[in-house]
Amino acid sequence: MASVEQVSAVGQVLLDSKQELAWRFRALFTLRNIGGTTCVPRTPSAACCCCHSPEAISWISRGFSDESALLKHELAYCLGQMQDARAIPTLTAVLKDTQQEPMVRHEAGEALGAIGDTSVLELLTEYCQDPVIEVAETCQLAVARLQWLQSGGQAQDDSPYSSVDPAPPAPQKSPSELRSILLNERLPLFERYRAMFALRNLGTEEAALALADGLQCSSALFRHEIGYVLGQMQHPAAVPALSAALERPEENPMVRHEAAEALGSIGRQECVGVLQRHQADGERVVQESCVVALDMLHYENSEQFQYADGLVRLQG
């Protein structure tokens, strides 16, 4: 357990715009992992009962006035992964705020679905018709996930990943069957996402290459999620496709950002050159993603126990 003073010290790093972005990211993930001392009652419809520091949630929630869309996107992601209902008011406000960047609003919608509290179903249903297609598709997925939970769906405990995903993995099928579902743009997005996470969980080269084919699909939201899962898999077979996505100047910045972070997560030496080239990219979110990705790559090749290990030591 961290003291209020320790949480505050890390929170100040997160909100300090003069700090290097890589350190602010480390501060964010430190806050995400900080536990609380008491359990706040959750609604019966919530997915689980997690204990988190209310101070950590407060510090993360204060960051949405920052100028960095990338940082705000990650703030929303972390609040969703924490699955704490105390974050719902903040995430609701971000989703409703049309002055926020689409990638930030998208992540707020996804986070509301990840928390698993069905009290937000009406809100998410309303935003299924948002004029920003990435926001609309995200809310459609979040509604489908909450309805799946309502129908008795349970998160699988045998996943090799600890993330809360926008859709549960599909029932067991062959890689070729899953690939067919993944790439079939006539199917509902939720069904294709289920195939995506099932392929991710296989962890094989065949699965990674099937997922990489999804980087050619029409939905930018879908391509962005493909980049995310390839980063989770950390399979080197995905490096060429991810590098190509990052290199395409006409590609949606959301997709390019996720491709950059995936390359940093994979952590291979052949990822360094393309990330370094795009540290000066014309899109700020791509620039910043490459900076953070190179920091992640350094971590992947270091002896640090966890990504935020250095920050934890720094804060005492």
Q: Report residue 237: phi and psi, to 5°.
A: -65, -20
Place of tokens 């720094």: 314
Taking the domains of the chain in order of start, what are their residue ranges? 1-154, 163-316
Closest CA relative to residue 77, chosen from 103, 46, 38: 103
Tens-digit pLDDT profile for residues 190-216: 999 999 999 999 999 999 999 999 999
Question: What pLDDT is attached to residue 154?
Answer: 72
Domain 163-316 is in which class?
mainly alpha
Q: Is the pLDDT of residue 41 over 60?
A: no
pLDDT (0 to 100) of residue 310: 42
pLDDT recorded at residue 304: 57
CATH architecture of the region 1-154? Alpha Horseshoe (1.25)
Radius of gyration of the chain (CA): 19
Report pLDDT for 174.
Answer: 96
Q: What is the reported pLDDT for 199?
A: 98
Q: Would 1-154 and 163-316 be classified into the same CATH topology?
A: yes
- Between CA 241 and CA 235 the distance in angstroms is 12
* Predicted confidence (pLDDT) at residue 39 exceeds the cutoff of 50: no
Mean pLDDT estimate for the chain? 90
- Structure-token pair, residue 298: 């350094």
Task: Provide the percentage of residues in the chain whose pLDDT is more than 70.
Answer: 88
Asked whether the beta carbons of 64 and 246 are under 8 A apart, the reply is: no
**Lowest mean per-residue pLDDT among 32-46, 67-81, 131-145, 186-200:** 32-46
Angle at which helix 205-213 crosses helix 189-202, to 10 degrees, equals 150
Is 18 exposed, middle or buried (CB count within 10 Å of its CB: 0-12, 13-18, 19+)?
exposed
Quick one: three-class SS letters along the chain?
CCCHHHHHHHHHHHHCCCCCHHHHHHHHHHHHCCCCCCCCCCCCCCCCCCCCCHHHHHHHHHHHHCCCHHHHHHHHHHHHHHCCHHHHHHHHHHHHCCCCCHHHHHHHHHHHHHHCCHHHHHHHHHHHHCCCHHHHHHHHHHHHHHHHHHCCCCCCCCCCCCCCCCCCCCCCCCHHHHHHHHHCCCCCHHHHHHHHHHHHHHCCHHHHHHHHHHHHCCCHHHHHHHHHHHHHHCCHHHHHHHHHHHHCCCCCHHHHHHHHHHHHHHCCHHHHHHHHHHHHCCCHHHHHHHHHHHHHHHHHCCCCCCCCHHHHHHCC
What type of residue sits at position 19? Answer: Q
> CA triplet 197, 259, 284: central angle to 5 degrees?
135
**What band does 300 get if pLDDT is binned at 50, 70 and 90?**
confident
For the stretch 185-197, pLDDT in tens is: 999 999 999 999 9
- Between 40 and 84, residue with greater pLDDT: 84
Q: Could you tell me the CA-to-CA distances from 111 to 13, 37, 153, 232 in Å, in that order?
A: 23, 23, 18, 18
Per residue in 63-105, pLDDT tens?
999 999 999 999 999 999 999 999 999 999 999 999 999 999 9
